[in-house]
């Protein structure tokens, strides 16, 4: 079921806060989760008939939205095909100038133990907490924040600098600068569903889909085993009619003799 975390000793409430308006009501959220649980190659062949959405929980989750600019340079070492002479080692020097917007969950237990991802929060889609924002927050439980500005900024800079290099980089020198930060409340749907079928015969596992309620960004999910799901589809594709398996299909057909 949806997690129930105890409030932190000192909930964090910055002076300026923003709220992302909800775009999906409960009916649309349930349908979104159902589609996520039943459609696609890695979903069981019988998911459409066996998946049942059991619970929908709405919540407000805090995020730090950070605009980061990274400048510097890097040295990459790779190989290029040299035709009949084989491959040759190539050293490349490349300048770095990158701008990115990162959103990190402002609740550690969610960020480290559940999400493991970041949501995309558009700056044009937020409203100030004062006024309309306060009314929106009153519509669902909130998850208190415990990640402050410096911690979120350091995380965003680290992620941005790591993203400016690749596996071929042997040396780099970068400098990350924060252009703007916002503390944003993001609406989240935590949808749970039950499935008992070919990929989960016992039906004892809890499955769920967690996504942002303004743009359907997937934050976390748990589904039946992909291996079992694919096997269930293969069984359907490779199944033969019983009559074809009694041996007559493989015996040479004898044409009747003309009298």
The answer to whether residue 40 is domain-embedded is yes
Per the structure block, which two tokens stand in for 142?
A: 């909130």
Query: How many other C-beta atoms lie within 10 A of the C-beta of residue 237?
Result: 7
pLDDT at position 7 over 80: no
Task: Say what the pLDDT of residue 83 is.
Answer: 63
Task: Say what the pLDDT of residue 26 is.
Answer: 96
The answer to whether residue 80 is domain-embedded is no
How many domains is the chain built from?
Answer: 1
pLDDT digits (tens, 9 = 90+) for 53-86: 999 999 999 999 999 999 999 999 988 776 666 6
* Whole-angstrom distance, CA of residue 231 vs CA of residue 228: 5
The answer to whether residue 257 is domain-embedded is no
Range 5-18 average pLDDT = 82
Task: Say what the pLDDT of residue 231 is.
Answer: 83
Which domain does 137 fall in, by range?
A: 23-67+101-145+176-245
Torsion angle defined by CA atoms of residues 247, 250, 251 and 257, in that order, rounded to the nearest 10 degrees: 120
The answer to whether residue 45 is domain-embedded is yes
Lowest mean pLDDT among 86-90, 204-208, 223-227: 86-90
The answer to whether residue 77 is domain-embedded is no
pLDDT digits (tens, 9 = 90+) for 152-199: 899 889 888 988 888 889 899 999 999 999 999 999 999 999 999 988
Q: Which of 35, 46, 54 is nearest to 191 (CA)?
A: 54
The answer to whether residue 160 is domain-embedded is no
Mean pLDDT, all residues of the chain:
83
Residue 4 to residues 34, 81, 156, 175: CA-CA distances in angstroms?
Answer: 23, 56, 27, 39
The answer to whether residue 126 is domain-embedded is yes
Its pTM stands at: 0.78
The answer to whether residue 93 is domain-embedded is no
Per the structure block, which two tokens stand in for 222?
A: 């748990």
């Amino acid at each position: 079921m949806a997690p129930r975390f105890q409030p932190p000793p000192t909930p964090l409430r910055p002076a300026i806060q923003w709220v992302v308006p909800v775009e999906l009501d409960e009916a649309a959220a349930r349908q979104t989760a159902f589609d996520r649980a039943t459609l696609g190659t890695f979903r069981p062949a019988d998911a459409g008939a066996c998946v049942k959405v059991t619970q929908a929980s709405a919540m407000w989750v805090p995020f730090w939205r950070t605009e980061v600019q990274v400048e510097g340079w890097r040295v990459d070492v790779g190989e290029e095909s040299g035709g009949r002479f084989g491959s040759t080692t190539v050293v490349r020097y490349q300048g770095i100038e990158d701008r990115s917007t990162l959103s990190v969950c402002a609740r550690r237990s969610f960020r480290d133990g559940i999400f493991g991802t970041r949501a995309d929060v558009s700056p044009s889609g937020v409203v100030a907490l004062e006024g309309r924002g306060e009314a929106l927050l009153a519509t669902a439980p909130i998850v208190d924040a415990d990640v402050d500005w410096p911690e979120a900024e350091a995380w965003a800079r680290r992620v941005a600098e790591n993203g400016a290099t690749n596996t071929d980089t042997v040396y780099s020198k970068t400098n990350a600068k924060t252009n703007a930060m916002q503390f944003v409340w993001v609406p989240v749907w935590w949808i749970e569903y039950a499935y008992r079928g070919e990929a989960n015969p016992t039906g004892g596992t809890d499955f769920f889909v967690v996504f942002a309620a303004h743009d359907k960004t997937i934050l976390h999910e748990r589904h039946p085993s992909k291996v079992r799901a694919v096997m269930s589809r293969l069984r359907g594709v490779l199944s033969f009619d019983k009559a074809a398996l009694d041996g007559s299909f493989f015996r040479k057909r004898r044409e009747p003799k003309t009298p």
